[in-house]
């Protein structure tokens, strides 16, 4: 059971990355859809005039850069899409602009009214009020949709026109911090932001991601978050487009504050590796894997066994930044035929970590290296704290903390805590607990 | 919908009610005060109190037994102002130092609020009560304490239920009280026997405690196991659980005989005037179960008390038993019997602790070699 979830989440995480990229215009067309059921045909007829294609264009060239889907949700032209479909415009409104393509072939400018970055939603408005619109399924809003119900995912990707995919509502994803609906059905990239509706055409969720691999597993944002965002767009302070970046930063900060509060509330537990103990989160949305080098063909010169627990969270910020994940990983090394000097060299190479990529939205990685002893009865550690700041979002960082035990010649524990999009206070607080929890088990 | 609820559940109730378009009325505050209002006859559809208090109300038939469902447990935790450095409170000396360093200590009613009663003891235990007396800021409940702290400025610290900290803007949760000072309170919701809209109240409780609200519960600060009545579709998972535990003790299931009741739980239990509970783990999986099976108008049998190995050591058996006995009392049974096997040592200790005494029974199920009874 556990490994099945782990696998599912592993792919879900990657899928977030994949589908989070709105379809590039030059991408391969999707495979032709399977023949439609009569129910699907009915939903198709109902839905078609209510679905939009949402295009991001370069201001200067007027060329489209990405395409996603959206759907009309009010009589006066409010439409829902994914935040990731409009993120380029939100973060850089001087370089990009938004345009819609209606099913009747009309096109026009789109106004960005509200965003919900953690749930990956946005409200946009078209410049006309004569089109029919979707309503939300009240059972879905109240969390009363039965599992196994037939639902239909729709989108308007590329120039293929309208796409409809039949599938099943499978409840909420078990191990998820932010609510996601588990959809059994083959949603395609480019359908991002499109609606998912029941037999009666009422919306239960919004396409957001799909699983990689052969299985037809998709993920939807529950409709209630879209309903709330429309309310906010109508009643809340208007989104000033030149300040949208600040709003993204504010939402990321608020999300991480809540996430770390919940993480601390759910508590921690110990994990045992060789003669050492380390700290893991006990939160139900963490997924853990074990790994080893024992099955490597060539006889390893040092044996390694480890665990890695990762939060199944991933927030799309821009095409280069996926944030909001936290990882606890430990590797226990034991020398097979390395002498103390060779073993230490091997370990220090691993403890150096990976070089950061050159993403311009983050500052250069800065690292600090220290030898620390957290208590007299605990192993001394070499601790390396590496940090990168988000240039556009003040007060948020990607932090990696590595701790390598220094007490034995031929065995050692390497712990690594990775936190994405975290405030300094949260990073320091959890980092301290992480270091203090590394101790001898015997 | 009228609530009488511990303040700890206010944030969650608000979130679920908004999505369900249910209007929330009534009172949220220190559980002691809410229980007093309930007993004094204040109008109420849904009571959300500690599980011990709800068990007591169930036994007295003041709530509708089959509606009662746990929301989860809430740790009592430490809070600081948003933006402040999070102090170390992970052990006794760090906690003491953090309390002494604060210029105001905010917490709820030390007489009637769960967290307030507990935190007053923590201050005694830390031996700093006299030292910090002038800096204590006591408020009627956790929500008001946290709100006052958020508005205070300076370098305050607070202690109340985690859910109340998480529901208050301007304050941050540092961590639950450290080991040795910790407190975990299980909250349970139930429909009041006197509710004028019992059906929709029961639907709302089911929603609060249901799978769809699990993420909302966790975000609100609930954790751990939650016990509620089994759903019709869960019989297969219950059978799997029972078989797994039996296997662990070298016993085998008997689907034609003693375990036939698991083929259709609803028909065998609820529809005959009994009930069947399941304990749900934080991952949404069934981790334990327990049923009350009516034998005659006076006597019922406690059956199918099983807890998964990984879920033992959290007091789940005791919680299942307490709910079962409260239910039996509330339904007017005078005597509870049970059969068990000697190898199930933990369970037998639990029964003995609850006052069950050995009896002789003419026929025991094949895998059982002992019987017990309790007069209610």
- First-to-last CA distance in chain A? 32
Average confidence (pLDDT) over A184-205: 90
Q: Closest to B90 (Cβ–Cβ): which among A171, A177, A433?
A: A433
Average confidence (pLDDT) over B324-352: 92
Average confidence (pLDDT) over B193-204: 94
- Asked whether the predicted pLDDT for residue A24 surpasses 70, the reply is no
Q: Is A231 on the interface with B (CB under 8 A)?
A: no
Q: Is B285 on the interface with A (CB under 8 A)?
A: yes
Q: Where does the pLDDT of residue A67 fall: very low under 50, low under 70, confident under 90, or very high at 90 and above? A: confident
* pLDDT averaged over every residue in chain A: 85
Model pLDDT, residue A32: 45
Which residue is associated with the tokens 């304490």?
B145
Beta bridge pairs of residue A196:
A153, A205
- Write phi, then psi, for B220 (nearest 5 degrees): -75, -15
Average confidence (pLDDT) over B192-217: 92
Model pLDDT, residue A17: 36
Q: Read off the tokens for B57.
A: 């109300």
Determine the Cα–Cα distance for residues A97 and A88; give it in Å rounded to an integer: 9
Distance of CA B43 to the CA centre of its chain: 23
Other Cβ atoms within 10 Å of B243 Cβ, number: 17
Q: Where does the pLDDT of residue A356 fall: very low under 50, low under 70, confident under 90, or very high at 90 and above? A: low
> Quick one: angle between helices B345-353 and B316-330, nearest 10?
50
Question: Please, which contacts does A165-168 make with residues 24 or more away whose CB atoms are closer than 8 Å?
Answer: A165/A33, A165/A191, A166/A34, A166/A36, A166/A37, A166/A39, A166/A40, A167/A196, A167/A216, A167/A218
Determine the Cα–Cα distance for residues A19 and A28; give it in Å rounded to an integer: 14
**DSSP state letter for A117:** T
Contact between B23 and B45 under an 8 Å Cβ cutoff? The reply is no
Rounded to 5 degrees, what angle do the CA atoms A364, A369, A373 make? 145
Helix (H), strand (E) at residue A388: strand A381-389
CA-to-CA separations, B114 to A331, B160, B205, in angstroms, rounded: 42, 8, 22
Q: Closest to B19 (Cβ–Cβ): which among A143, A257, A436?
A: A143
Determine the Cα–Cα distance for residues A352 and A384; give it in Å rounded to an integer: 8
Q: Alpha helices, DSSP H only, in A187-243?
A: 223-235
> Over the stretch B94-148, which tens digit does the pLDDT of each residue have?
999 999 999 999 999 999 899 999 999 999 999 999 999 999 999 999 999 999 9
Determine the Cα–Cα distance for residues A43 and A430; give it in Å rounded to an integer: 49
Determine the Cα–Cα distance for residues A90 and A294; give it in Å rounded to an integer: 48
Break chain A down into helix, strand, coil percent, rounded to 5: 25, 40, 40
Other Cβ atoms within 10 Å of A89 Cβ, number: 26
What is residue B356's three-state secondary structure? Answer: coil
Average confidence (pLDDT) over B62-74: 95
Q: Closest to A432 (Cβ–Cβ): which among B88, B214, B215?
A: B88
Report the DSSP pairing between strands B46-50 and B171-176: unpaired
Determine the Cα–Cα distance for residues A281 and A289; give it in Å rounded to an integer: 13
Helix (H), strand (E) at residue B330: helix B316-330
Q: Read off the tokens for B323.
A: 């709910």
- Comparing C-alpha atoms, which of A95, A402, A264 is closest to residue B78? A264
Return left, alpha or beta for B61; rule: phi > 0 is left, psi -120 to 50 is alpha, else beta: left
Q: Is the pTM of this model over 0.95?
A: no
- Asked whether the predicted pLDDT for residue B242 surpasses 90, the reply is yes
Interface touch B219/A177, C-beta < 8 Å: yes
- Asked whether the predicted pLDDT for residue A30 surpasses 60, the reply is no
| Chain A residue numbers touching B19 (CB-CB < 8 A) | 141-143, 224
| Chain A residue numbers touching B83 (CB-CB < 8 A) | 425
Q: Read off the tokens for B161.
A: 């239920």
Model pLDDT, residue A13: 33
- Asked whether the predicted pLDDT for residue B373 surpasses 70, the reply is yes
Interface touch A172/B175, C-beta < 8 Å: no
Q: Alpha helices, DSSP H only, in A70-114?
A: 83-91
- Comparing C-alpha atoms, which of B336, B311, B313, B338 is closest to residue B326? B336
**Structure ipTM over 0.90, yes or no:** no
Q: Is B75 on the interface with A (CB under 8 A)?
A: yes
Contact between A36 and A162 under an 8 Å Cβ cutoff? The reply is no
Determine the Cα–Cα distance for residues B305 and B303; give it in Å rounded to an integer: 6
Preferred mutation among B12, B216, B219 to probe A, highest tally of A CBs within 10 A: B219
Interface touch A262/B84, C-beta < 8 Å: no
Model pLDDT, residue A346: 84
**DSSP state letter for B362:** S
Determine the Cα–Cα distance for residues A282 and A265; give it in Å rounded to an integer: 9
Tell the burial category of A5 from Cβ atoms under 10 Å away from its Cβ (0-12, 13-18, 19+): middle
**With pLDDT > 70 as the criterion, what percentage of chain A qualifies?**
88
| Chain B residue numbers touching A285 (CB-CB < 8 A) | 218
Which residue is associated with the tokens 């309170």?
B185
Q: Of A205-219, A422-436, B81-95, B323-337, give the lowest mean pLDDT range.
A: A205-219
**DSSP state letter for B92:** H
Determine the Cα–Cα distance for residues B47 and B50; give it in Å rounded to an integer: 10
- Comparing C-alpha atoms, which of A103, A111, A104, A106 is closest to residue A76? A111
Average confidence (pLDDT) over B53-65: 95
Model pLDDT, residue B131: 95
> Over the stretch B244-290, which tens digit does the pLDDT of each residue have?
999 998 888 888 888 888 888 888 898 999 999 999 998 888 999 99
Contact between B209 and B242 under an 8 Å Cβ cutoff? The reply is no
Q: Read off the tokens for A142.
A: 């109240």
Model pLDDT, residue A19: 41
Q: Where does the pLDDT of residue A318 fall: very low under 50, low under 70, confident under 90, or very high at 90 and above? A: confident
Determine the Cα–Cα distance for residues B110 and B122; give it in Å rounded to an integer: 11
Tell the burial category of A394 from Cβ atoms under 10 Å away from its Cβ (0-12, 13-18, 19+): exposed
Count of helix runs (H) and strand runs (E) in chain B: 14, 16
**DSSP state letter for B234:** G
What's the gap in Å between the CA of A143 and the closest CA on chain B? 6
- Asked whether the predicted pLDDT for residue A297 surpasses 80, the reply is no
Q: Of A255-264, B102-111, B230-239, give the lowest mean pLDDT range.
A: B230-239
Which of A20-29, B176-185, B210-219 has the highest average model confidence (pLDDT)? B176-185
Contact between A340 and A409 under an 8 Å Cβ cutoff? The reply is yes
- Asked whether the predicted pLDDT for residue A388 surpasses 90, the reply is yes
Q: Of A264-278, A423-437, B151-165, B356-370, give the lowest mean pLDDT range.
A: B356-370
- Asked whether the predicted pLDDT for residue A28 surpasses 70, the reply is no
| Chain A residue numbers touching B176 (CB-CB < 8 A) | 264-265, 267
Q: Is A283 on the interface with B (CB under 8 A)?
A: yes
CA-to-CA separations, A35 to A39, A41, A46, A48, in angstroms, rounded: 12, 10, 18, 17
- Comparing C-alpha atoms, which of A193, A205, A256 is closest to residue A395? A256
Q: Of A179-183, A356-360, B2-6, B54-58, give the lowest mean pLDDT range.
A: A356-360
Other Cβ atoms within 10 Å of A45 Cβ, number: 10
Q: Closest to A262 (Cβ–Cβ): which among B176, B210, B218?
A: B218
Distance of CA B141 to the CA centre of its chain: 19
Rounded to 5 degrees, what angle do the CA atoms A352, A356, A362 make? 135
Interface touch A425/B165, C-beta < 8 Å: no
- Comparing C-alpha atoms, which of A11, A19, A74, A2 is closest to residue A220? A19
> Over the stretch A89-134, which tens digit does the pLDDT of each residue have?
999 999 999 999 988 888 999 999 999 999 999 999 999 888 899 9
**Residue B66, C-beta contacts closer than 8 angstroms, at least 6 positions apart:** B229, B270, B275, B327
Other Cβ atoms within 10 Å of A53 Cβ, number: 25
Which residue is associated with the tokens 């030898």?
A371
- Write phi, then psi, for A371 (nearest 5 degrees): -100, 125
Tell the burial category of A266 from Cβ atoms under 10 Å away from its Cβ (0-12, 13-18, 19+): buried
Beta bridge pairs of residue A304:
A333
CA-to-CA separations, B1 to A88, A329, A416, B45, B97, in angstroms, rounded: 44, 47, 49, 6, 44
């Amino acid at each position: 059971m556990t490994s099945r979830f782990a696998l599912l989440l592993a792919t879900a995480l990657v899928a977030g990355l994949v589908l989070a990229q709105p379809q590039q215009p030059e991408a391969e067309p999707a495979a032709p859809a399977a023949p439609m059921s009569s129910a699907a045909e009915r939903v198709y007829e109902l839905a078609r005039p209510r679905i939009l294609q949402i295009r991001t264009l370069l201001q200067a060239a007027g060329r489209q850069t990405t395409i996603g889907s959206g759907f009309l949700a009010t009589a006066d032209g409010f439409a829902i899409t994914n935040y990731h479909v409009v993120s380029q415009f939100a973060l850089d409104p001087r370089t990009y602009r938004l345009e819609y393509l209606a099913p009747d072939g009309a096109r026009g400018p789109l106004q960005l009214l509200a965003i919900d970055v953690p749930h990956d939603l946005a409200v946009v408005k078209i410049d006309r009020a004569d089109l029919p619109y979707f309503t939300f399924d009240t059972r879905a809003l109240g969390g009363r949709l039965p599992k196994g119900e037939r639902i239909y995912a729709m989108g308007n990707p590329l120039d293929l026109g309208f796409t409809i995919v039949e599938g099943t509502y499978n409840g909420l994803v078990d191990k998820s911090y932010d609510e996601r609906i588990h959809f059994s059905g083959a949603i395609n990239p480019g359908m991002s932001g499109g609606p998912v509706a029941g037999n009666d055409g009422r919306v239960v969720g919004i396409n957001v991601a799909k699983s990689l691999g052969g299985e037809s597993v998709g993920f939807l944002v529950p409709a209630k978050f879209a309903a709330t965002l429309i309310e906010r767009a109508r009643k809340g302070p208007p989104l000033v487009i030149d300040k949208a970046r600040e709003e993204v930063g504010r939402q990321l900060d608020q999300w991480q504050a809540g996430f770390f509060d919940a993480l601390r509330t759910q508590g921690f537990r110990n994990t045992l590796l060789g003669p050492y103990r380390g700290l893991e989160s006990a939160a139900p949305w963490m997924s853990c894997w074990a790994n080893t080098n024992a099955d490597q063909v060539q006889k390893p010169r040092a044996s390694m066994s480890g665990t890695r627990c990762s939060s199944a969270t991933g927030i799309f910020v821009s095409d280069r930044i996926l944030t909001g994940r936290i990882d606890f990983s430990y590797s226990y090394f034991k020398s097979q035929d390395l002498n103390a000097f060779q073993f230490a060299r091997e370990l220090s190479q691993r403890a150096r970590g990976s070089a950061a990529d050159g993403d311009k939205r983050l500052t250069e990685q800065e690292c600090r290296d220290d030898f620390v002893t957290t208590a007299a009865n605990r192993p001394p550690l070499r601790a390396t704290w590496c940090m990168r700041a988000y240039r556009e979002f003040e007060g948020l960082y990607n932090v990696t903390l590595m701790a390598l035990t220094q007490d034995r010649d031929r065995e050692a524990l390497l712990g690594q805590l990775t936190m994405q999009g975290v405030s300094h206070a949260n990073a320091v607080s959890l980092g301290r607990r992480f270091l203090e929890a590394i101790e001898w088990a015997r | 919908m009228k609530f009488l609820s511990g303040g700890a559940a206010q944030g969650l109730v608000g979130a679920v009610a908004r999505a369900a378009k249910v209007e929330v009325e009534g009172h949220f505050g220190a559980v002691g005060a809410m229980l007093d209002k309930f007993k004094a006859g204040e109008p109420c559809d849904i009571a959300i109190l500690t599980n011990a208090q709800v068990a007591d109300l169930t036994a007295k038939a003041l709530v509708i037994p089959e509606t009662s469902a746990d929301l989860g447990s809430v740790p009592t935790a430490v809070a600081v102002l948003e933006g402040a450095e999070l102090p170390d409170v992970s052990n006794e000396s760090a906690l003491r130092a953090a309390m002494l360093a604060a210029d105001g200590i905010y917490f709820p009613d030390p007489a009637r609020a769960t967290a307030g009663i507990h935190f007053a003891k923590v201050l005694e235990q830390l031996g700093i009560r006299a030292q910090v007396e002038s800096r204590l800021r006591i408020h009627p409940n956790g929500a008001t304490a946290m709100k006052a702290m958020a508005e205070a400025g300076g370098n305050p610290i607070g202690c109340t239920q985690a859910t109340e900290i998480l529901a208050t803007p301007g304050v941050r949760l540092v961590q639950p009280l450290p080991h040795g000072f910790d407190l975990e309170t299980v909250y349970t919701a139930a429909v009041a026997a006197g509710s004028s809209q019992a059906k929709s109240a029961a639907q709302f409780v089911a929603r609060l405690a249901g799978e769809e609200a699990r993420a909302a519960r966790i975000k609100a600060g609930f954790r751990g196991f939650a016990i509620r009545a089994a759903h019709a579709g869960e019989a297969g998972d219950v059978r799997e659980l029972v078989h797994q535990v039996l296997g662990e003790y070298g016993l085998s299931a008997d689907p034609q005989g003693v375990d036939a009741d698991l083929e259709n739980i609803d028909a065998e239990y609820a529809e005959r005037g009994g009930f069947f509970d399941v304990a749900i783990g934080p991952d949404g999986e069934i981790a334990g179960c327990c049923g009350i099976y009516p034998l005659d108008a006076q006597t019922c049998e406690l059956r199918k008390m099983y807890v998964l190995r990984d879920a033992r050591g959290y007091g789940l058996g005791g919680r299942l038993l307490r709910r079962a006995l409260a239910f039996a009392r509330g339904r007017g049974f005078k005597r509870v019997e049970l059969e068990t096997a000697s190898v199930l040592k933990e369970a037998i200790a639990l029964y003995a602790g609850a006052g069950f005494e050995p009896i002789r029974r003419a026929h025991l199920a094949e895998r059982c070699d002992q019987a017990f009874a309790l007069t209610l």
